Amino acid sequence: MTSRAFSNRILRSAAALATLGLTTFIYANQIELRAFKLHRVQVPVLAPGTLARAGKREGEPFQILHVSDFHMLPDQKLKQKWVASLDALNPDLVINTGDNLGSDKAVPSVLAALGPLLNRPGAFVFGTNDYFAPRPVNPLKYLTGKKRKPSRVELPWRGMRAAFIEHGWQDATHARLEFVAGGVKVALSGVDDPHHELEDYSQIAGAPNADADIAIGLSHSPEPHVLDAFAEDGYDLVLSGHTHGGQVCLPGGKAIVTNCGIDRSRASGLSRWTEKTWLHVSNGLGTSPYAPVRLFCRPSATLIEVVERDS
């Protein structure tokens, strides 16, 4: 092969790689980022007879809608419309595990997205990106798994929290809550974002009320020490977000990183943390405005169907 032929081959290969890279970015930024998806999972934790006592029809589960990580911007109208449409699922309980804001002007957009869901029983915890604005970062640093300090530019989280509470949702941050939703007695507790050491589990430590039909723990980031604490106290189900499911994944949705302490196999979806305690990690519905791509990891919400365990 002549040197000119070799050079031409190198140039053609480089051009092909550049085209592939550009095509992948366009897909990840313009298509998959807006390809919202609803997952459905089933969790068998209720005692036999619970659903009948709750007034459910035969075969009807207790339904929890889990949403997380909107990272909302005011112009994301399609996302807002899609989230609002989830009310048609008629969930018994809505859980929001934080990182709602991508801008200091996004609170009205978050409220518009949640819309009718705010009229249903709901509870929430916040993530660091509810408190502090996103900041530009090198996306490659995300792949190293190193923790990034928040910007310390404060977001209007207090007004958002007040609006959630005004509509009837309960703030589970360092609180032990008990209520009835869909006829089911729920014990629910949460912590502030442990990814940046904001949690104080001692404020909620101890077994949940034994009279509850289901005990649920909330933590924005699924850090193992918090999951272990919930499991040791006897919680049935822990709900988290934060990971974005890996956000940029290998084919098949295999996460490359989790951006927290859990292993990559648990970056999204349902898994068993212990024999008793289930963990659900949401893919989330957004990204940082400075890394607006998703690949093999569609933005999503999850309808969790809680059913009775075998007798």
What single-letter DSSP state applies at residue 72?
Answer: B
Residue 144 belongs to domain spanning? 35-308
Strands 184-191 and 269-272, by their bridges, are: unpaired
Query: Domain with 221 in it: what CATH number?
Result: 3.60.21.10
Residue 28 in any domain: the answer is: no
Tell me the C-alpha distance between 86 and 114, whole Å: 9
When pLDDT is cut at 50, 70 and 90, the band that residue 31 belongs to is confident
- Whole-structure pTM value: 0.92
What single-letter DSSP state applies at residue 264?
Answer: G
Residue 9 in any domain: the answer is: no
Per-residue model confidence as pLDDT tens digits over 190-216:
999 999 999 999 999 999 999 999 999
First to last CA, the chain: 74
- The 3-state DSSP class for residue 300 equals strand
Tell me the C-alpha distance between 47 and 131, whole Å: 38
Compute the Cα dihedral for 40, 109, 247, 216 and give only its sign: negative
Tell me the C-alpha distance between 108 and 85, whole Å: 17
Residue 4 in any domain: the answer is: no
- Tokens coding 30: 């313009």
Per-residue model confidence as pLDDT tens digits over 215-268:
999 999 999 999 999 999 999 999 999 999 999 999 999 999 999 999 999 999
Flag the least confident range among 68-77, 149-158, 167-176.
149-158
Residue 268's Cβ-count burial label (10 Å; 0-12, 13-18, 19+) is buried
Residue 24 in any domain: the answer is: no
Residue 135 in any domain: the answer is: yes
Per-residue model confidence as pLDDT tens digits over 131-157:
999 988 766 666 666 677 787 899 999
Mean of the pLDDT values across residues 176-199?
98
Residue 18 in any domain: the answer is: no
**How many domains does the structure of the chain reveal?**
1
Number of H helices, E strands in the chain: 8, 14
Hunting for tokens 């292993």 — which residue is that? 263
Residue 268 in any domain: the answer is: yes
Residue 19 in any domain: the answer is: no
In sequence order, the β-bridge partners of residue 187 are 178, 215
Tell me the C-alpha distance between 154 and 31, whole Å: 31
